[in-house]
Amino acid sequence: MLLLTTGILATHAVQAQTLTVLHNFTGGGDGAEPEAGVTMDQAGNLYGTTSSGGAGFGTVFRLAHAGSGWVLTPLHSFAGGSDGAFPEARVVIGSNGTLYGSTTFGGAGASGTVFNVRPPATACKTALCPWTETVVYSFQGGSDGSHPRYGDLVFDRAGNMYGTTYDGGQDDGGTVFRLRPSDGGWTEEVLHRFPSSMDGKGPMSGVVLDAVGNLYGTTFKGGQYEAGTVFVLHPSGSSWTANILYSFKDQADGANPIGGLIFDQSGNLYGSSADGMSNGGAIFEMTPQLSGNWTFNVLFEFANPGGNYPCPGPWSDLTEDAAGNLYGTAVFDGAYWNGSVFKLTPSNGGWTYTDLHDFTGQSDGGMPVGGVVLDAQGNLYGTTSAGGSLNLGVVFEITP
pTM for this entry: 0.94
The model's confidence at residue 309, banded by pLDDT at 50, 70 and 90, is confident
The model's confidence at residue 8, banded by pLDDT at 50, 70 and 90, is very low
- Give ∠ CA 236-240-244 in degrees, rounded to 5: 115
Contact criterion met (CB below 8 Å) for 262 and 320: yes
How far is CA 330 from each of CA 112, 321, 391, rounded to the nearest angstrom?
Answer: 26, 18, 18
Contact criterion met (CB below 8 Å) for 338 and 366: yes
User: Is the model's pLDDT at 28 over the cut of 80?
Assistant: yes
The CATH number fitting domain 28-324, selected from 1.20.140, 3.30.1380, 1.10.3470, 2.120.10: 2.120.10
Count of CA atoms in the C-beta half-sphere (13 A) of 193: 14
* CA–CA separation, 388 and 400 (whole Å): 22
- The domain ranges of the chain are 1-27+325-400, 28-324
User: Is the model's pLDDT at 89 over the cut of 70?
Assistant: yes
* CA–CA separation, 178 and 189 (whole Å): 5
Contact criterion met (CB below 8 Å) for 210 and 166: no
Quick one: which of 203, 189, 183 has its CA closest to 137?
189
Residue-wise pLDDT for 174-204, tens only, equals 999 999 998 889 999 999 999 877 889 999 9
Alpha-carbon torsion (216, 312, 282, 223), positive or negative: negative
3-state class (DSSP) for residue 246: strand
* Summary mean pLDDT of the chain: 93
Q: Give me the pLDDT at residue 198, please.
A: 80
Question: 106 Cβ partners below 8 Å, 6+ apart?
Answer: 57, 78, 80, 81, 82, 83, 84, 85, 86, 112, 113
Q: Give me the pLDDT at residue 15, please.
A: 64
Q: Count other Cβ atoms within 10 Å, centred on residue 208.
A: 20
User: Is the model's pLDDT at 137 over the cut of 70?
Assistant: yes
**What's the order of all strands across the beta sheet hosting 262-263?**
2-5, 294-301, 282-288, 269-273, 262-263
Which has the higher per-residue pLDDT, 22 or 4?
22
Q: Give me the pLDDT at residue 10, please.
A: 34
3-state class (DSSP) for residue 43: coil
Q: What is the CA radius of gyration of the chain?
A: 20
% the chain with pLDDT above 90: 85
The model's confidence at residue 125, banded by pLDDT at 50, 70 and 90, is low
Residue-wise pLDDT for 315-350, tens only, equals 999 999 999 999 999 999 999 999 999 999 999 989
